[in-house]
Chain A
Amino acid sequence: MDIKLLHGILNPQMVSSDTATLTRFSVDGVVPEAVVCPANLSQVSEVIKLANREKWAVTPWGSGTKMEIGQVPKRLDLVLCASRLDKIIDIDVANLTVTAQAGVKLGDLQDLLGGAENRCFFPLEGDLKAQADYMCSGRDYKGVFLPLDPPFPDKATLGGIIATNSTGPKRLRYGLPRDLILGVRYVSPTGEIIGMGGKTVKNVSGYDVSKIMIGSLGTLGIIGDITLRLLPLPEQIATILVSFNELTAVTGFAKRVLNSKLLPTSLEVLNRDGYSLSASTDLKAPSGRWCVAVGIEGFSEEVKREITDLKDMAHFEKAIEMAELDSDSTIVFWKNLANCALTLPKDGETVVKFKAGFLISNFPEVLEAWTNILPDNFCALTASAGLGLACAYLVIKTDSDIEKAARLGKAFRETAENYGGSMVVEFAPATLKQKLDQWGSPHADFVLMRRIKDSLDPLNVLNPGRFLGGI
């Protein structure tokens, strides 16, 4: 690779090729030849056009929290990092939208949104004459939020969250990135700057291209900036923890909640190891083998009602223990759970994370099957009852446990597939990836995915080999 070509389009401080940097930006042990951190989309566009001319393979990089997703790269010449694409372009509190660049960290954005002042708007923008013409909300709490709670909320970037379709427990109430995205501007695999969608809540002008950018792992474009829907911060938040010994009681309770009129934001089932990840020091471990955590958000009357009903339901299913978390503890509890993969491993250990989606109706069967094949040592299960999702976190010895983890992964996947679903490996060392397919086998619609990739990225410049089916 001729680094000088990069110097022709970027400032020298945006291009690194020293060994330390290159090692830090290696993907599954594959070391790039250069790392570039462009400052705007035009520069990204120039870099990608150059990569097409030189046939370089390019991997986009946000803050690196999800770089273990995907197969080992087939080729890797250039890492394109988003650290300088970190501007928040527009927070429109009155219209409940935000536009920000891909490198903005979710935590930073949420902090800013949460403190956004009383949501004022202008009655007739052209006619605004005096301060008195502003109309401001009279409510006594303030702020808005982006209803996404993916893993590593403080570190994860918006671009990374979108590119990996990363979600958390609150998805039960608020949906996925695909339900929140209004527009995206990205650099295509051939280097053009493309804008799709905009700031309006409804938009059917042309194809909904932003949808296929979500979860495409940077194989169809480099995300530049994103416009997303916001919501007003809820008046009150709380969490109810309920513990059980028997899995049938757990699923009985979950079913009761889901068939009620209640609207919990999350309904997570945790095994004992799973619970240990989320508990903070002032929360004692529940005595049961299972804990169900129910997140509640809304107006104060709603929250009060939901707590009362949930306690009744738990009582009916003969819960062993119940606890109610106030708003501060609620925040800590869910944040710990979201960050657990970072805090788990010690020296010489690695975290492996499997994530499966399956039919909601088979939630009890999947959980039971997974429990039966769990290893004796540490394994945390966290499962979203109303969504048909389950995650398993294993801590393995990096050098000696690979075979075992691969066997376990295959067994987990078989279960998910038997119940109408699929499983992906979200965290794994490269040695494990050689023994266990990251994505599982593609379905018949893969023929379309292949054609889309070939049509948009004819020279296979973006992230070659890391996505489903070797895309």
Chain B
Amino acid sequence: MQTILEFVVTPWTYAFMGRAFLAAVIVGVVSAVLGTYVVLRGMAFMGDALAHAILPGVAVGYLVGGGARGPLLWWGLGAGLLAAFGIGGISRRAQVREDTAIGVIFSGMFALGIVLISTVGSYATDLTHFLFGDILGVGANDLYVIAGFGALVLLLIVAFYKEFMVISFDPVLAATLRIPDRFFHYLLLVMLATTIVVSLQTVGLALMVAMLVTPAATASLLTRRLPSMMAVSAGIGVLAALSGLYISYYANVASGAAIVLVCTGFFALAFLFAPRKGLLTTLLADRAARTAD
């Protein structure tokens, strides 16, 4: 008994681990809830692209700020918004499909970010932090920013719940109800960019899309209505954040990747064993039905 308690409590005795846990949990909840719309609207590629596209912004912030954390956020957010509106603008005006526009813009911006960062001598470590996160380096101020923006994103999801649901389920209905479809789509992109930027330290931008997509995809296999999908997705996000960090602490592996792998594990379990939609469950049900005939 003693040892289990110790196992659970020990990491929290370090202040930096406590902050890491809090940051991971907040990011887990916010990205998992927002992720339901990413999954339902088929925006996984867009989410991945936005995450990569913030790199040049972060790089500029890093170059001008001389390592200070504060400006990184705003520069990253700026780059994310630029990418979101750029992709929207190109795919609407020119004769270019949206996924093509995403591919062109995100790889271009990602490359620009790497070029910018590589102008600094010892860029490898810093680049690694941006790509894969630096959760143990989360300071008290970072935590306030993460919590503040996270709360804002959740608030918007609740406030515009019915509008987001309608534009995602039936755009034509949204149009006949005179709901400004495009405004809410861009609002969602802004919320996505914000979430990605505040999650930068926790998981890093290379694996960000997993935090958005995997818990929500898992929840979609387990639930039948949007509110419960959001709740289950958030629960998986929290569980993955906590257990991923414990794994990272005890096995001494990269924390962001550990969190993502736990998410993937949850998805695999749901994919196979989900009560109604699991692969094995439906196979067994089919067989049972056939023998009953």
Q: Do A and B come from one complex?
A: no
What residues make up the interface of A, taking CB atoms closer than 8 Å to B? none
What residues make up the interface of B, taking CB atoms closer than 8 Å to A? none
